[in-house]
Amino acid sequence: MNRPTLFAVAVVSAAILAYQVLLVRLLAIISWHHFAYMIISIALLGFGASGTVLALTRARVVPHFTAAFATCAAFFGATAVGAFAILARLPFNPLALVWDPQQMIWLGASYGVLVLPFFFGGAAVGLAFTRHAAEIGRLYAYDLVGAGVGALGMVGILFLVTPAVALRLVSAAGLLSAALILLPSARRGPRLAAVSFAALALLSAAWLPSGLTAIQPHVSQFKGLPMALRTPDARVIAERSSPLGLISVVASPTIPFRYAPGLSLANTIEPPEQLGIFTDADSLSTITRFTGELEPLGYLDYTTSALPYHVVEEPETLILGAGGGEQVLLALYHGAREIDAVELNPQLADLVADQYAEFAGGIYDLPRVDLHVAEARSFIERTRKRYDLIQIPLLYSFGAASAGTQSLHESYTYTVEALQKYLETLEPGGVLSITLWAKLPPRDSVKLFATAVEALRERGAVDPGRQLAMVRSWKTATLIVKNGELAQAEIASLKEFARARSFDLAWYPGIRAEEANRFNILEHPYFFEAATALLGREADAFIGTYKFAISPATDDRPFFNDFFEWRFLPELFELRRQGAAAMLDMGYLILFATLVQAIVLSLLLIVAPLLLRRRGFAGSTPKTGVSLYFLALGLGFLFIEIAYIQRFILFLGHPLYAVAVILAGFLVFAGVGSALASRLDRAMARWGAQSVLGRKIGAIELSALGVAVLATLYLFLLPPLLEALIAWPDAIKIAVTLVLVAPLACLMGMPFPLGVALIARANPDLVPWAWGINGCASVVAAILATLLAIHAGFTATIVLAAVVYLLAPIGLR
């Protein structure tokens, strides 16, 4: 096997993974993140389909390996752009799936379109595995390293170019792979084809018709940005793109933005002019015009977020989630002594601090304001300061929340452990303030209250209710948690705050039932009743019977926005045409529906070759054992990989870093393990089969056992180690992460090539079939791992993966 072949496999693998990362970004902009996840998960079954086709056509295709590989790689490059161009123009509205059956047709069309590039990419790699099965360890190493470089490289590229330009680069990579495979040929025709593909790659990277890769015209009409642009004279005046999101700044001179979530109906102060900031065409925040005069900011005192400033005077304040700077203005209005503003997205922070600094009044240049670009928990772990007030404002738009699109998004901001860290960072008598949307029926605020009660109890509070207070407006609710008991003067102040603004009291120490539900009247005082129940002796029973999942979120299960309860799905579905569709947890339901579809389609793809070509699969090799082995490898690998991505988000301080570092680390070091697999196999053969617990084991058993043991050992070693190192600089933490991942990933890269080499000797026809099984299993595992993490936690997911690895070799016996 020559080097151009190895490099061709590495390049096409890099292109496939880069395309997958890019599609998540592109489809998150067009629709919503978890609808993108659903479509891409099913599209990845193209890998399984490619294995099926190769299993059926192996005898005819493999003799023409070079031409077939080049064709598949070139078609991947072409369909990568073409599939997105078609997909972006399909009239698919994911939010209408609940009530419009026609949307299922367009969903199926979306699947069919996106399957094509993954089919051709998977076919190219599968062809190489089938043709060079005897050297599978070396080939698989190039495949995995290429995939790791592609995933990490795309994250870096998206910091430099827009998603539309990145799509052209993916297409060019597919064409370049076709050129590489043809390059060693001595014949004139293939060499001319190689030059042609290389020229097409350069042309694709430098230029494609803009209509093919246009994004904004095809954004869902139900997202915030398209709706805002329907306002007369509204226009996008600036855009910033990165892996963190596409930021669009909108000006509306005819009808200016006046955005103040949950503003009291008693307010008489008109908000100043604002610029709208949309992230991925949704999730609105604003930059408010500030001239240095505090009086025009008085309207902010008529939001529930102002509550803590009526409990703590002139506080030293920490704002976790500064956004466009609204909460900084609120702190300035109330005379905060010092303000530390923390923002996750550096481009959003730069817009306020630099490009629109004059419009924003240079708030981040004021002597008492410091801007920090960091993730909230990471900043809390690193800071040595103590604050009088820690404020967490609204972190996502009402539209995204109501659509259920945040439900599968892991967040370490609202966990029990997070609230404990916030309280530890407060001065004695300091206050933690968190504002959420007051959705009906109540769920977010109720779950937050339950989480706060649990955090206080774990800190030793005998009567947590004496440290809590909550008020709500017609749209938002704010919970305050004091580091100590609320004094009578503070209670009197918050009662007056609520009365003057027609806000409803949901809880304070000593509240009476008749004080709740007075202004924004509901059928029952739901918020007050929930708070009372959660502080009572029957709290567990209340949580267990509530119609939404409101158990406190933890760092092991950090899915705060998951409220789905299976037992109440029939009731919600029955009421969907009466407005209950907004209460359906769309993210969870779509994930589950995707899992069902993936399992059904995977079974068809795996079983089809056996039914259609029994004679070709005749032989002594046990087909059931082979399928179970490669199924287990696909499940186990993705279980561990996804659990580690989610686990390291907190340590690395940013979801993007976790995805990039863990994904690249696992793939690259698994590639190293694959390259070493044949050496381990030869060493075991020289030494003879060793015995463990009375059972003989070879290289396959040894590597699988190593994965299970090391993964289990990490469950005990990682938590204290990561907690001890979390305050270290980012560069060192990334290096530590790679060092920790390396031995586990190296072992995880061995079982697949060892298994392929074994069945290649026994029955070569099964090699492409095994590739297809592994691809299908990976798709199912990616979805199933998330569901397992939601219900059982990351620890349970890794334990299950260890068990799967232990059982996998049994199939090949």
- Confidence band, pLDDT 50/70/90 cuts, at residue 617: low
Which range is least confidently modeled, 29-33, 34-38, 288-292, 388-392?
34-38
Nearest Cα residue to 48 out of 593, 594, 637, 608: 608
Q: What is the pLDDT of residues 218-272, one digit of tens each?
A: 677 778 888 888 888 899 999 888 887 889 999 998 888 888 988 999 999 999 9
- How confident is the model over 14-38, as a mean pLDDT? 77
- How confident is the model over 12-32, as a mean pLDDT? 84
Give residue 582's pLDDT. Answer: 56
For residue 576, count other CB atoms closer than 10 A to its CB: 14
- How confident is the model over 494-508, as a mean pLDDT? 96
Give residue 619's pLDDT. Answer: 54
- Confidence band, pLDDT 50/70/90 cuts, at residue 576: low
Among the ranges 404-408, 432-436, 651-655, 729-733, which has the highest mean pLDDT value? 432-436
| 3 state DSSP class of 245 | strand
From the options 1.10.20, 1.20.1250, 3.40.630, 1.10.10, give the CATH code of 614-813: 1.20.1250
Give residue 59's pLDDT. Answer: 83
Q: Give me the DSSP letters along 583-595.
A: GS-HHHHHHHHHH
Give residue 694's pLDDT. Answer: 47
- How confident is the model over 755-761, as a mean pLDDT? 86
Q: How far apart are CA 374 and CA 269, in angstroms?
A: 33
* pLDDT of residue 410 exceeding 50: yes
Contact 633, 751 (CB under 8 A): yes
Contact 113, 53 (CB under 8 A): no
- How confident is the model over 493-509, as a mean pLDDT? 96
- Confidence band, pLDDT 50/70/90 cuts, at residue 495: very high
The upper half-sphere exposure of residue 25, i.e. CA atoms within 13 Å in the direction of its Cβ, equals 27
Q: How far apart are CA 251 and CA 235, in angstroms?
A: 6
294: its two tokens: 């505090």
Nearest Cα residue to 668 out of 135, 170, 140: 140
* pLDDT of residue 491 exceeding 80: yes
Average pLDDT, the chain: 86
- Burial class of residue 801 (count of CB atoms within 10 Å of its CB; 0-12, 13-18, 19+): buried
Give residue 404's pLDDT. Answer: 43
State which amino acid sits at residue 553: A
Give residue 85's pLDDT. Answer: 85
Q: How far apart are CA 246 and CA 280, in angstroms?
A: 5
CATH code reported for the domain at 1-218: 1.20.1250
| 3 state DSSP class of 425 | coil
The upper half-sphere exposure of residue 795, i.e. CA atoms within 13 Å in the direction of its Cβ, equals 10
Determine if the peptide bond prior to 441 is cis (ω within 30°).
yes
* pLDDT of residue 66 exceeding 80: yes
For residue 539, count other CB atoms closer than 10 A to its CB: 16
Q: pTM (2 decimals)?
A: 0.86
Q: What is the pLDDT of residues 602-613, one digit of tens each?
A: 888 777 776 666
Give residue 49's pLDDT. Answer: 83
Q: What is the pLDDT of residues 675-707, one digit of tens each?
A: 888 888 888 777 655 554 445 678 888 999 999
DSSP 8-state code for residue 344? S
Give residue 765's pLDDT. Answer: 76
Domain boundaries, the chain: 1-218, 219-279, 293-565, 614-813
For residue 399, count other CB atoms closer than 10 A to its CB: 17
For residues 768 and 8, the model is more confident at 8
Q: How far apart are CA 470 and CA 482, in angstroms?
A: 12
Q: Class of the 293-565 domain? A: alpha beta
Q: What is the pLDDT of residues 83-113, one digit of tens each?
A: 888 887 877 776 666 666 777 787 778 878 8
**What Å distances lie between residue 625 and 108, 133, 758, 810, CA to CA?**
33, 19, 12, 8
Which range is least confidently modeled, 473-487, 586-600, 611-625?
611-625
* pLDDT of residue 447 exceeding 60: yes
Contact 84, 26 (CB under 8 A): yes
Backbone phi and psi for residue 193, each to the nearest 5 degrees, phi listed first: -65, -40
Give residue 398's pLDDT. Answer: 44
H helix runs in 294-397, sequence order: 326-333, 346-350, 376-382
SS (H, E, C) 642-664: HHHHHHHHHHHCCHHHHHHHHHH
* pLDDT of residue 540 exceeding 80: yes
* pLDDT of residue 296 exceeding 50: yes
- Confidence band, pLDDT 50/70/90 cuts, at residue 32: low
Which range is least confidently modeled, 7-21, 50-64, 286-300, 684-698?
684-698
For residues 42 and 199, the model is more confident at 199
* pLDDT of residue 31 exceeding 50: yes
Q: How far apart are CA 537 and CA 592, in angstroms?
A: 35
Within this chain, domains 1-218 and 614-813 share the same CATH topology: yes
For residues 752 and 395, the model is more confident at 752
Give residue 408's pLDDT. Answer: 55
Nearest Cα residue to 445 out of 399, 494, 513, 507: 507
